[in-house]
Amino acid sequence: VGETSLLWEYVAAGKSSLSLETACPDGQAFLTLVAGADILVIDHAETALARFGLTLEGLHADFPRLIIVALSPFGRGGPFADLAASELTVQALAGYACLNGGAGRPPLKAPGHILAYACGVSAFVAAMAALVGRLRGGAGALVDAAEFETITAILPLLRGQYSGTHPVRGGAPSTGVRALPCTDGYVS
């Protein structure tokens, strides 16, 4: 039995990553690592960097060519920025849970890890756009990739803004998911 999940093995295949705690015992080790990077992807940024006396804005100022992608549930600012979050709470607050589950029944969390995948793709696109801009003579960037913002921009919710017709939860395959009965309720 490995120390990582099968999902992690799949999404991390061919990539390298470092644990901040083991790779950077102090702030200087972290700064040395960052100095050689094109893109820094970080979650829980403020907490992780505070132990070194650093901030994202400070890193951005000290390394103007660096592209920093800060992943968070609700973004770095705004009314929800400091809320504790899980995939379920982000989906519910964004209105995405209303799409999943049977009509007349409580909503269900979307299956799998749709939020992490969608936010990851959004962050990747933003990082690549920033990198292309930098390669064309621009500077680095500080990208705020929020799960909440990403999930609200997914097609089923946007469609209603343009058509005026909002999706109704029916649990049918047209929602992309199915609600299946189990011993004590439903699972998606």
Closest residue by Cα to residue 144 from 84, 68, 86, 82: 68
What is the pLDDT, as a whole number, of residue 171?
57
This model's pTM is above 0.75: yes
Of the candidates 144, 145, 86, 79, which has an alpha carbon nearest to the alpha carbon of residue 110?
86
Confidence (pLDDT) at 45: 64
Question: Which tens digits make up the pLDDT trace of 26-75?
Answer: 888 889 989 999 999 988 667 778 888 889 999 999 999 999 999 999 99
Q: Which of 37-41, 50-54, 105-109, 118-122 has the lowest mean pLDDT?
A: 105-109
